[in-house]
Structure 1
Protein backbone atom coordinates (compact mmCIF):
# COMPACT_ATOMS: atom_id res chain seq x y z
CA UNK A 1 0.00 0.00 0.00
CA UNK A 2 1.44 3.39 -1.02
CA UNK A 3 1.95 6.38 1.25
CA UNK A 4 -1.09 8.20 -0.20
CA UNK A 5 -3.32 5.17 0.25
CA UNK A 6 -2.23 4.77 3.84
CA UNK A 7 -2.89 8.45 4.52
CA UNK A 8 -6.36 8.26 2.97
CA UNK A 9 -7.20 5.19 5.04
CA UNK A 10 -5.97 6.90 8.20
CA UNK A 11 -8.12 9.97 7.52
CA UNK A 12 -11.21 7.80 6.93
CA UNK A 13 -10.68 5.97 10.22
CA UNK A 14 -10.19 9.28 12.02
CA UNK A 15 -13.43 10.72 10.59
CA UNK A 16 -15.43 7.67 11.62
CA UNK A 17 -13.98 7.97 15.12
CA UNK A 18 -14.77 11.67 15.31
CA UNK A 19 -18.35 11.07 14.25
CA UNK A 20 -18.85 8.79 17.25
CA UNK A 21 -17.39 11.40 19.59
CA UNK A 22 -19.36 14.37 18.31
CA UNK A 23 -22.34 14.53 20.60
CA UNK A 24 -20.80 13.68 23.94
CA UNK A 25 -17.05 14.12 23.70
CA UNK A 26 -16.13 10.49 24.33
CA UNK A 27 -16.75 6.96 23.15
CA UNK A 28 -20.34 5.97 23.76
CA UNK A 29 -22.20 2.70 23.81
CA UNK A 30 -23.12 1.42 20.34
CA UNK A 31 -26.66 0.33 19.59
CA UNK A 32 -28.19 -1.32 16.58
CA UNK A 33 -29.75 1.38 14.43
CA UNK A 34 -32.11 -1.05 12.74
CA UNK A 35 -34.84 -0.70 15.37
CA UNK A 36 -37.50 1.70 14.22
CA UNK A 37 -40.14 1.74 16.93
CA UNK A 38 -42.09 4.59 15.52
CA UNK A 39 -43.23 5.16 11.96
CA UNK A 40 -43.57 8.66 10.67
CA UNK A 41 -47.25 9.49 10.47
CA UNK A 42 -47.34 12.93 8.94
CA UNK A 43 -47.75 12.73 5.16
CA UNK A 44 -48.65 16.36 4.58
CA UNK A 45 -46.47 18.06 2.01
CA UNK A 46 -47.98 21.50 2.34
CA UNK A 47 -47.75 23.02 5.78
CA UNK A 48 -49.48 25.95 7.37
CA UNK A 49 -48.60 28.40 10.09
CA UNK A 50 -50.92 30.57 12.13
CA UNK A 51 -49.69 33.84 10.65
CA UNK A 52 -48.30 35.24 7.46
CA UNK A 53 -44.74 36.47 7.22
CA UNK A 54 -46.00 40.04 7.16
CA UNK A 55 -47.86 39.57 10.44
CA UNK A 56 -51.36 39.14 9.00
CA UNK A 57 -53.47 36.31 10.31
CA UNK A 58 -54.05 33.36 8.01
CA UNK A 59 -52.41 30.20 6.71
CA UNK A 60 -48.88 30.32 5.37
CA UNK A 61 -47.69 27.62 3.00
CA UNK A 62 -44.25 26.04 3.25
CA UNK A 63 -43.92 24.08 0.03
CA UNK A 64 -42.02 20.92 -0.76
CA UNK A 65 -38.61 21.39 -2.37
CA UNK A 66 -38.49 19.06 -5.42
CA UNK A 67 -35.50 16.77 -5.80
CA UNK A 68 -34.21 17.22 -2.26
CA UNK A 69 -33.78 14.41 0.27
CA UNK A 70 -34.00 16.90 3.14
CA UNK A 71 -37.37 18.64 3.25
CA UNK A 72 -37.64 21.71 5.45
CA UNK A 73 -41.43 21.41 5.14
CA UNK A 74 -41.38 17.97 6.79
CA UNK A 75 -39.04 19.19 9.50
CA UNK A 76 -41.41 22.05 10.24
CA UNK A 77 -44.39 19.70 10.25
CA UNK A 78 -42.80 17.34 12.78
CA UNK A 79 -41.71 20.22 15.00
CA UNK A 80 -45.22 21.65 15.09
CA UNK A 81 -46.60 18.22 16.09
CA UNK A 82 -44.10 17.76 18.92
CA UNK A 83 -45.43 19.99 21.77
CA UNK A 84 -48.19 18.32 23.80
CA UNK A 85 -50.51 19.37 26.60
CA UNK A 86 -49.10 22.35 28.51
CA UNK A 87 -45.44 21.39 28.97
CA UNK A 88 -44.66 18.04 27.39
CA UNK A 89 -42.95 16.84 24.20
CA UNK A 90 -44.21 13.88 22.17
CA UNK A 91 -41.40 11.50 21.39
CA UNK A 92 -42.58 10.26 17.99
CA UNK A 93 -42.60 13.64 16.18
CA UNK A 94 -39.51 14.67 18.19
CA UNK A 95 -37.55 11.73 16.78
CA UNK A 96 -39.05 12.33 13.34
CA UNK A 97 -37.74 15.89 13.55
CA UNK A 98 -34.31 14.46 14.22
CA UNK A 99 -34.64 12.13 11.24
CA UNK A 100 -35.08 15.19 9.04
CA UNK A 101 -32.26 17.08 10.78
CA UNK A 102 -29.99 14.09 10.11
CA UNK A 103 -30.88 14.40 6.41
CA UNK A 104 -30.05 18.09 6.66
CA UNK A 105 -26.59 17.33 8.04
CA UNK A 106 -25.98 14.57 5.51
CA UNK A 107 -26.76 17.05 2.73
CA UNK A 108 -23.89 19.25 3.93
CA UNK A 109 -21.30 16.72 2.79
CA UNK A 110 -19.45 13.63 4.05
CA UNK A 111 -17.55 15.45 6.80
CA UNK A 112 -20.70 16.72 8.51
CA UNK A 113 -22.64 13.63 7.46
CA UNK A 114 -20.41 11.45 9.61
CA UNK A 115 -21.52 13.45 12.61
CA UNK A 116 -25.13 12.63 11.83
CA UNK A 117 -24.41 8.91 12.25
CA UNK A 118 -23.97 9.39 15.98
CA UNK A 119 -27.24 11.29 16.25
CA UNK A 120 -28.98 8.53 14.34
CA UNK A 121 -27.66 5.97 16.79
CA UNK A 122 -29.10 7.96 19.68
CA UNK A 123 -32.56 8.22 18.18
CA UNK A 124 -32.36 4.44 17.67
CA UNK A 125 -31.61 3.95 21.37
CA UNK A 126 -34.82 5.68 22.40
CA UNK A 127 -36.81 3.87 19.74
CA UNK A 128 -35.45 0.53 20.91
CA UNK A 129 -36.25 1.34 24.53
CA UNK A 130 -39.78 2.22 23.47
CA UNK A 131 -40.12 -1.15 21.73
CA UNK A 132 -38.77 -3.04 24.73
CA UNK A 133 -41.16 -1.24 27.07
CA UNK A 134 -44.28 -2.12 25.06
CA UNK A 135 -46.61 -4.47 26.89
CA UNK A 136 -45.82 -3.15 30.37
CA UNK A 137 -48.91 -2.61 32.56
CA UNK A 138 -50.41 0.85 32.31
CA UNK A 139 -50.25 1.08 36.10
CA UNK A 140 -46.50 1.59 35.83
CA UNK A 141 -46.90 4.75 33.80
CA UNK A 142 -46.78 8.25 35.18
CA UNK A 143 -49.55 10.82 35.39
CA UNK A 144 -48.32 12.81 32.42
CA UNK A 145 -49.16 9.95 30.07
CA UNK A 146 -52.81 10.10 31.06
CA UNK A 147 -52.99 13.89 31.05
CA UNK A 148 -51.48 14.22 27.58
CA UNK A 149 -54.20 12.07 26.07
CA UNK A 150 -56.99 13.62 28.08
CA UNK A 151 -58.87 16.85 27.46
CA UNK A 152 -56.58 19.88 27.48
CA UNK A 153 -57.27 22.29 30.30
CA UNK A 154 -56.25 25.20 28.07
CA UNK A 155 -58.21 24.46 24.92
CA UNK A 156 -60.94 22.10 26.07
CA UNK A 157 -60.04 19.74 23.23
CA UNK A 158 -58.16 16.51 22.95
CA UNK A 159 -54.72 16.34 21.41
CA UNK A 160 -54.14 15.40 17.79
CA UNK A 161 -54.31 11.78 16.59
CA UNK A 162 -50.51 11.70 16.67
CA UNK A 163 -50.59 12.40 20.39
CA UNK A 164 -52.75 9.39 21.15
CA UNK A 165 -50.98 6.82 19.01
CA UNK A 166 -48.39 5.92 21.64
CA UNK A 167 -49.39 5.73 25.28
CA UNK A 168 -46.40 3.74 26.49
CA UNK A 169 -43.61 4.72 28.80
CA UNK A 170 -41.61 6.39 26.05
CA UNK A 171 -44.37 8.21 24.23
CA UNK A 172 -43.32 11.60 25.65
CA UNK A 173 -40.38 13.24 27.37
CA UNK A 174 -42.08 13.55 30.74
CA UNK A 175 -43.48 10.01 30.67
CA UNK A 176 -40.01 8.67 29.87
CA UNK A 177 -38.45 10.63 32.72
CA UNK A 178 -41.10 9.50 35.17
CA UNK A 179 -40.82 5.82 34.22
CA UNK A 180 -37.03 5.67 34.11
CA UNK A 181 -36.70 7.40 37.47
CA UNK A 182 -39.20 5.03 39.06
CA UNK A 183 -37.52 1.98 37.57
CA UNK A 184 -34.09 3.15 38.72
CA UNK A 185 -32.73 3.35 35.18
CA UNK A 186 -31.20 6.81 35.56
CA UNK A 187 -27.79 7.03 37.23
CA UNK A 188 -26.71 10.54 38.20
CA UNK A 189 -23.09 9.49 38.74
CA UNK A 190 -22.29 6.90 36.06
CA UNK A 191 -23.06 6.45 32.37
CA UNK A 192 -26.08 4.29 31.59
CA UNK A 193 -28.07 3.42 28.51
CA UNK A 194 -31.10 5.33 29.76
CA UNK A 195 -33.39 7.25 27.47
CA UNK A 196 -32.95 10.31 29.67
CA UNK A 197 -29.19 10.39 29.20
CA UNK A 198 -29.62 9.84 25.47
CA UNK A 199 -32.22 12.61 25.28
CA UNK A 200 -29.83 15.02 27.00
CA UNK A 201 -27.22 14.45 24.28
CA UNK A 202 -29.81 15.07 21.57
CA UNK A 203 -31.01 18.12 23.47
CA UNK A 204 -27.54 19.65 23.48
CA UNK A 205 -27.12 19.00 19.76
CA UNK A 206 -30.51 20.58 19.06
CA UNK A 207 -29.33 23.81 20.68
CA UNK A 208 -26.29 23.83 18.40
CA UNK A 209 -28.41 23.38 15.27
CA UNK A 210 -30.98 25.91 16.46
CA UNK A 211 -28.30 28.53 16.97
CA UNK A 212 -26.68 27.74 13.63
CA UNK A 213 -29.96 28.13 11.73
CA UNK A 214 -30.67 31.31 13.66
CA UNK A 215 -27.33 32.78 12.62
CA UNK A 216 -27.78 31.58 9.06
CA UNK A 217 -31.04 33.54 8.90
CA UNK A 218 -29.46 36.79 10.05
CA UNK A 219 -29.25 39.68 7.62
CA UNK A 220 -26.47 42.13 8.56
CA UNK A 221 -27.33 45.81 8.51
CA UNK A 222 -24.09 46.56 6.72
CA UNK A 223 -21.32 44.52 5.21
CA UNK A 224 -21.12 41.05 3.73
CA UNK A 225 -22.96 37.97 4.96
CA UNK A 226 -20.72 35.72 7.01
CA UNK A 227 -19.91 32.25 5.71
CA UNK A 228 -21.96 29.29 6.96
CA UNK A 229 -18.66 27.73 8.06
CA UNK A 230 -17.95 30.61 10.43
CA UNK A 231 -21.54 30.68 11.69
CA UNK A 232 -21.61 26.95 12.40
CA UNK A 233 -18.26 27.16 14.18
CA UNK A 234 -19.50 30.04 16.31
CA UNK A 235 -22.70 28.18 17.20
CA UNK A 236 -20.69 25.11 18.13
CA UNK A 237 -18.27 27.05 20.33
CA UNK A 238 -21.11 28.43 22.44
CA UNK A 239 -22.97 25.11 22.77
CA UNK A 240 -21.55 21.63 22.20
CA UNK A 241 -17.95 22.72 22.66
CA UNK A 242 -18.70 23.21 26.35
CA UNK A 243 -19.19 19.43 26.67
CA UNK A 244 -16.31 18.27 24.47
CA UNK A 245 -12.65 17.55 25.06
CA UNK A 246 -9.87 19.59 23.47
CA UNK A 247 -9.30 16.87 20.89
CA UNK A 248 -12.93 16.79 19.79
CA UNK A 249 -13.13 20.59 19.61
CA UNK A 250 -10.11 20.64 17.29
CA UNK A 251 -11.60 17.86 15.19
CA UNK A 252 -14.85 19.83 14.85
CA UNK A 253 -12.93 22.60 13.16
CA UNK A 254 -12.09 20.20 10.32
CA UNK A 255 -15.76 19.48 9.73
CA UNK A 256 -16.65 23.17 9.59
CA UNK A 257 -13.97 23.89 6.98
CA UNK A 258 -15.86 21.64 4.56
CA UNK A 259 -19.19 23.44 5.11
CA UNK A 260 -20.87 24.47 1.80
CA UNK A 261 -21.31 28.10 0.84
CA UNK A 262 -24.50 30.08 1.37
CA UNK A 263 -25.77 29.44 -2.14
CA UNK A 264 -26.00 25.75 -1.31
CA UNK A 265 -28.44 26.50 1.53
CA UNK A 266 -30.59 28.56 -0.84
CA UNK A 267 -30.88 25.55 -3.13
CA UNK A 268 -31.39 23.13 -0.23
CA UNK A 269 -34.61 24.87 0.86
CA UNK A 270 -35.58 26.29 -2.56
CA UNK A 271 -35.26 30.01 -1.90
CA UNK A 272 -33.75 32.73 -4.07
CA UNK A 273 -32.48 35.28 -1.57
CA UNK A 274 -31.31 35.86 1.97
CA UNK A 275 -34.63 37.50 2.81
CA UNK A 276 -36.53 34.40 1.75
CA UNK A 277 -34.11 32.21 3.69
CA UNK A 278 -34.55 34.42 6.74
CA UNK A 279 -38.36 34.14 6.61
CA UNK A 280 -38.29 30.37 6.30
CA UNK A 281 -35.56 29.67 8.86
CA UNK A 282 -37.07 32.01 11.43
CA UNK A 283 -40.24 29.92 11.41
CA UNK A 284 -38.23 26.72 11.82
CA UNK A 285 -36.11 28.23 14.60
CA UNK A 286 -39.22 29.37 16.46
CA UNK A 287 -40.64 25.84 16.29
CA UNK A 288 -37.32 24.34 17.46
CA UNK A 289 -37.19 26.83 20.32
CA UNK A 290 -40.59 25.72 21.61
CA UNK A 291 -39.50 22.07 21.61
CA UNK A 292 -36.13 22.91 23.14
CA UNK A 293 -37.59 25.03 25.94
CA UNK A 294 -40.13 22.36 26.91
CA UNK A 295 -37.42 19.68 26.98
CA UNK A 296 -35.10 21.97 28.92
CA UNK A 297 -37.73 22.54 31.61
CA UNK A 298 -38.48 18.83 31.94
CA UNK A 299 -34.79 17.94 32.31
CA UNK A 300 -34.10 20.85 34.64
CA UNK A 301 -37.02 20.03 36.94
CA UNK A 302 -35.60 16.54 37.37
CA UNK A 303 -31.96 17.67 37.78
CA UNK A 304 -30.91 15.92 34.55
CA UNK A 305 -28.97 18.65 32.77
CA UNK A 306 -25.61 17.18 33.83
CA UNK A 307 -26.15 13.44 33.48
CA UNK A 308 -22.78 11.76 32.85
Structure 2
Protein backbone atom coordinates (compact mmCIF):
# COMPACT_ATOMS: atom_id res chain seq x y z
CA UNK A 1 0.00 0.00 0.00
CA UNK A 2 1.30 3.45 -0.93
CA UNK A 3 0.19 5.77 1.86
CA UNK A 4 0.59 8.86 -0.32
CA UNK A 5 -1.67 7.43 -3.03
CA UNK A 6 -4.26 6.32 -0.51
CA UNK A 7 -4.32 9.76 1.13
CA UNK A 8 -4.69 11.36 -2.29
CA UNK A 9 -7.69 9.16 -3.17
CA UNK A 10 -9.33 9.69 0.22
CA UNK A 11 -8.97 13.47 0.07
CA UNK A 12 -10.19 13.49 -3.54
CA UNK A 13 -13.28 11.56 -2.47
CA UNK A 14 -14.48 14.45 -0.28
CA UNK A 15 -17.07 16.13 -2.43
CA UNK A 16 -18.98 19.36 -1.84
CA UNK A 17 -20.84 19.62 1.43
CA UNK A 18 -20.88 16.20 3.01
CA UNK A 19 -20.90 14.20 -0.23
CA UNK A 20 -18.49 11.44 -1.27
CA UNK A 21 -17.29 11.12 -4.87
CA UNK A 22 -17.43 7.47 -5.83
CA UNK A 23 -14.56 7.22 -8.33
CA UNK A 24 -11.79 8.28 -5.90
CA UNK A 25 -13.58 6.40 -3.09
CA UNK A 26 -13.31 3.16 -5.05
CA UNK A 27 -9.72 3.97 -6.07
CA UNK A 28 -8.91 4.35 -2.37
CA UNK A 29 -10.40 0.94 -1.75
CA UNK A 30 -8.26 -0.57 -4.48
CA UNK A 31 -5.22 0.73 -2.62
CA UNK A 32 -6.54 -0.67 0.67
CA UNK A 33 -6.97 -4.09 -0.94
CA UNK A 34 -3.22 -4.22 -1.50
CA UNK A 35 -2.82 -3.68 2.25
CA UNK A 36 -5.32 -6.44 3.05
CA UNK A 37 -3.64 -8.90 0.72
CA UNK A 38 -0.34 -8.26 2.47
CA UNK A 39 -1.80 -9.49 5.76
CA UNK A 40 -1.58 -13.10 4.67
CA UNK A 41 -3.26 -15.61 2.33
CA UNK A 42 -6.22 -16.29 4.62
CA UNK A 43 -7.13 -12.61 4.85
CA UNK A 44 -7.37 -12.66 1.05
CA UNK A 45 -10.82 -14.17 1.64
CA UNK A 46 -11.94 -10.73 2.82
CA UNK A 47 -10.05 -8.80 0.16
CA UNK A 48 -11.74 -10.98 -2.47
CA UNK A 49 -15.16 -10.08 -1.08
CA UNK A 50 -14.23 -6.39 -1.10
CA UNK A 51 -12.95 -6.66 -4.67
CA UNK A 52 -16.26 -8.19 -5.73
CA UNK A 53 -18.13 -5.20 -4.35
CA UNK A 54 -15.81 -2.70 -6.04
CA UNK A 55 -16.27 -4.47 -9.38
CA UNK A 56 -20.05 -4.46 -8.92
CA UNK A 57 -20.14 -0.74 -8.21
CA UNK A 58 -17.87 -0.04 -11.19
CA UNK A 59 -20.23 -2.05 -13.39
CA UNK A 60 -23.28 -0.18 -12.13
CA UNK A 61 -21.47 3.10 -12.77
CA UNK A 62 -20.64 2.07 -16.34
CA UNK A 63 -24.20 0.98 -17.07
CA UNK A 64 -25.55 4.31 -15.82
CA UNK A 65 -22.78 6.49 -17.27
CA UNK A 66 -25.19 8.55 -19.37
CA UNK A 67 -27.15 9.70 -16.31
CA UNK A 68 -24.12 10.03 -14.00
CA UNK A 69 -26.31 9.05 -11.04
CA UNK A 70 -23.40 7.05 -9.62
CA UNK A 71 -20.89 9.88 -9.60
CA UNK A 72 -21.37 10.49 -5.88
CA UNK A 73 -22.83 8.88 -2.78
CA UNK A 74 -25.73 11.30 -2.48
CA UNK A 75 -26.72 11.14 -6.13
CA UNK A 76 -26.59 7.32 -6.06
CA UNK A 77 -28.82 7.16 -3.00
CA UNK A 78 -31.35 9.60 -4.42
CA UNK A 79 -31.46 7.81 -7.78
CA UNK A 80 -31.84 4.33 -6.28
CA UNK A 81 -34.53 5.40 -3.83
CA UNK A 82 -36.41 7.10 -6.67
CA UNK A 83 -36.12 3.98 -8.84
CA UNK A 84 -37.22 1.72 -6.00
CA UNK A 85 -34.21 -0.60 -6.23
CA UNK A 86 -33.27 -0.36 -2.53
CA UNK A 87 -35.04 -2.97 -0.42
CA UNK A 88 -35.33 -2.46 3.35
CA UNK A 89 -36.79 -5.89 4.13
CA UNK A 90 -35.12 -8.45 1.83
CA UNK A 91 -31.84 -9.16 0.05
CA UNK A 92 -31.86 -7.18 -3.19
CA UNK A 93 -28.82 -6.01 -5.18
CA UNK A 94 -28.27 -2.26 -5.26
CA UNK A 95 -25.42 0.20 -5.19
CA UNK A 96 -26.47 1.36 -1.71
CA UNK A 97 -26.46 -2.17 -0.27
CA UNK A 98 -23.05 -2.85 -1.83
CA UNK A 99 -21.60 0.38 -0.49
CA UNK A 100 -22.92 -0.40 3.00
CA UNK A 101 -20.80 -3.58 3.01
CA UNK A 102 -17.72 -1.58 1.98
CA UNK A 103 -18.56 0.98 4.66
CA UNK A 104 -18.43 -1.68 7.38
CA UNK A 105 -15.14 -3.05 6.09
CA UNK A 106 -13.66 0.45 6.06
CA UNK A 107 -14.50 0.80 9.75
CA UNK A 108 -12.76 -2.52 10.45
CA UNK A 109 -9.59 -1.26 8.76
CA UNK A 110 -9.85 2.07 10.58
CA UNK A 111 -10.03 0.30 13.95
CA UNK A 112 -7.10 -1.93 13.01
CA UNK A 113 -4.95 1.09 12.18
CA UNK A 114 -6.02 2.82 15.40
CA UNK A 115 -4.90 -0.22 17.39
CA UNK A 116 -1.61 -0.33 15.47
CA UNK A 117 -0.99 3.34 16.27
CA UNK A 118 -1.84 2.95 19.96
CA UNK A 119 1.50 1.47 20.98
CA UNK A 120 2.04 -0.61 24.14
CA UNK A 121 -0.55 -1.07 26.90
CA UNK A 122 -0.10 -0.15 30.58
CA UNK A 123 2.13 -3.20 31.06
CA UNK A 124 4.32 -2.25 28.10
CA UNK A 125 2.95 -5.02 25.90
CA UNK A 126 2.21 -4.55 22.22
CA UNK A 127 -0.84 -6.35 20.87
CA UNK A 128 -0.16 -8.81 18.07
CA UNK A 129 -1.63 -8.17 14.60
CA UNK A 130 -3.88 -11.20 15.08
CA UNK A 131 -5.27 -9.77 18.32
CA UNK A 132 -5.82 -6.35 16.77
CA UNK A 133 -7.59 -7.74 13.71
CA UNK A 134 -9.72 -10.07 15.83
CA UNK A 135 -10.86 -7.31 18.19
CA UNK A 136 -11.74 -4.97 15.32
CA UNK A 137 -13.52 -7.76 13.46
CA UNK A 138 -15.61 -8.82 16.45
CA UNK A 139 -16.67 -5.22 17.02
CA UNK A 140 -17.60 -4.27 13.46
CA UNK A 141 -18.04 -7.17 11.04
CA UNK A 142 -18.79 -10.32 13.03
CA UNK A 143 -22.37 -9.25 13.95
CA UNK A 144 -23.20 -9.16 10.22
CA UNK A 145 -21.49 -12.42 9.20
CA UNK A 146 -22.77 -16.01 9.27
CA UNK A 147 -21.15 -18.59 11.54
CA UNK A 148 -18.94 -20.15 8.83
CA UNK A 149 -17.44 -16.81 7.85
CA UNK A 150 -16.78 -15.93 11.48
CA UNK A 151 -14.94 -19.25 11.87
CA UNK A 152 -12.87 -18.52 8.77
CA UNK A 153 -12.02 -15.09 10.17
CA UNK A 154 -10.79 -16.56 13.46
CA UNK A 155 -8.51 -18.91 11.52
CA UNK A 156 -7.21 -16.03 9.38
CA UNK A 157 -6.34 -13.89 12.39
CA UNK A 158 -4.38 -16.75 13.94
CA UNK A 159 -1.98 -16.72 10.99
CA UNK A 160 -1.21 -13.02 10.76
CA UNK A 161 2.31 -11.71 10.07
CA UNK A 162 4.42 -10.00 12.73
CA UNK A 163 3.76 -6.41 13.83
CA UNK A 164 6.91 -5.26 12.03
CA UNK A 165 5.35 -6.37 8.75
CA UNK A 166 2.32 -4.13 9.35
CA UNK A 167 4.55 -1.19 10.18
CA UNK A 168 6.47 -1.63 6.93
CA UNK A 169 3.17 -1.74 5.05
CA UNK A 170 2.53 1.83 6.20
CA UNK A 171 6.09 2.80 5.31
CA UNK A 172 7.71 2.97 8.77
CA UNK A 173 10.25 0.72 10.47
CA UNK A 174 9.64 1.32 14.19
CA UNK A 175 6.57 1.73 16.40
CA UNK A 176 7.76 5.21 17.44
CA UNK A 177 7.60 6.36 13.82
CA UNK A 178 4.13 4.97 13.22
CA UNK A 179 1.90 7.41 15.11
CA UNK A 180 2.30 10.53 12.89
CA UNK A 181 1.77 8.52 9.68
CA UNK A 182 -1.10 6.48 11.05
CA UNK A 183 -2.88 9.42 12.66
CA UNK A 184 -3.00 11.23 9.32
CA UNK A 185 -4.25 8.10 7.58
CA UNK A 186 -6.81 7.32 10.30
CA UNK A 187 -8.08 10.90 10.12
CA UNK A 188 -8.58 10.68 6.34
CA UNK A 189 -10.35 7.32 6.58
CA UNK A 190 -12.43 8.64 9.48
CA UNK A 191 -13.72 11.62 7.49
CA UNK A 192 -14.78 9.42 4.58
CA UNK A 193 -16.35 6.91 6.96
CA UNK A 194 -18.19 9.62 8.92
CA UNK A 195 -19.69 11.22 5.82
CA UNK A 196 -20.77 7.83 4.49
CA UNK A 197 -22.20 6.78 7.86
CA UNK A 198 -24.26 9.95 8.19
CA UNK A 199 -25.64 9.62 4.67
CA UNK A 200 -26.65 5.99 5.27
CA UNK A 201 -28.09 6.79 8.68
CA UNK A 202 -30.14 9.72 7.42
CA UNK A 203 -31.80 7.42 4.89
CA UNK A 204 -32.27 4.48 7.25
CA UNK A 205 -29.82 2.32 5.32
CA UNK A 206 -27.40 1.17 8.04
CA UNK A 207 -29.08 -2.22 8.33
CA UNK A 208 -30.01 -3.05 4.75
CA UNK A 209 -30.41 -6.86 4.51
- The structure with higher relative contact order (CA 8 Å, sep 6+) is 2
Question: In the TM superposition, what is the alpha-carbon distance from 1:266 to its structure 2 partner?
Answer: 2.4
SS of corresponding position for 2:43: helix
Match of 1:256 in 2: 157
Match of 1:247 in 2: 148
Of 126, 130, 136, which aligns to 1:229? 130
Match of 2:34 in 1: 103
Of 40, 56, 79, which aligns to 1:179? 79
Match of 2:116 in 1: 216
Question: In the TM superposition, what is the alpha-carbon distance from 1:222 to its structure 2 partner?
Answer: 3.9
Of 166, 171, 190, which aligns to 1:289? 190
Matched, 1:277 2:184: no
Of 76, 86, 99, which aligns to 2:7? 76
5+ long unaligned stretches in structure 2? none
Matched, 1:303 2:204: yes
Query: Following superposition, which runs of at least 4 residues in structure 1 exceed 4 angstroms of deviation?
Result: none
CA deviations on 1:18-73 (whole Å, 9 max, x unpaired) are xxxxxxxxxxxxxxxxxxxxxxxxxxxxxxxxxxxxxxxxxxxxxxxxxxxx2122
- Residues of 1 paired with 2:141 and 2:181: CA distance? 25
CA-atom RMSD in angstroms: 1.1
After TM superposition, the structure 1 = structure 2 runs for residues 27-38 of structure 1, keeping only pairs within 5 Å, are none
**TM norm structure 1:** 0.66
- Residues of 1 paired with 2:206 and 2:168: CA distance? 37
After TM superposition, the structure 1 = structure 2 runs for residues 34-49 of structure 1, keeping only pairs within 5 Å, are none
5+ long unaligned stretches in structure 1? 1-69, 137-167
After TM superposition, the structure 1 = structure 2 runs for residues 125-140 of structure 1, keeping only pairs within 5 Å, are 125-136=56-67
- Residues of 1 paired with 2:171 and 2:109: CA distance? 19
**TM norm structure 2:** 0.96
- Residues of 1 paired with 2:168 and 2:66: CA distance? 45
Higher helix share: 2
- Residues of 2 paired with 1:301 and 1:226: CA distance? 36
Question: In the TM superposition, what is the alpha-carbon distance from 1:207 to its structure 2 partner?
Answer: 0.7
Question: In the TM superposition, what is the alpha-carbon distance from 1:110 to its structure 2 partner?
Answer: 1.1
Match of 1:24 in 2: none
Match of 2:19 in 1: 88
- Residues of 1 paired with 2:160 and 2:4: CA distance? 22
Q: Which moved more, 1:87-96 or 1:106-115?
A: 106-115
SS of corresponding position for 2:89: coil
Count of residue pairs the alignment pairs up: 208
CA deviations on 1:198-252 (whole Å, 9 max, x unpaired) are 0000001111111011101112354121101101100111110111123322221
Question: In the TM superposition, what is the alpha-carbon distance from 1:272 to its structure 2 partner?
Answer: 2.2
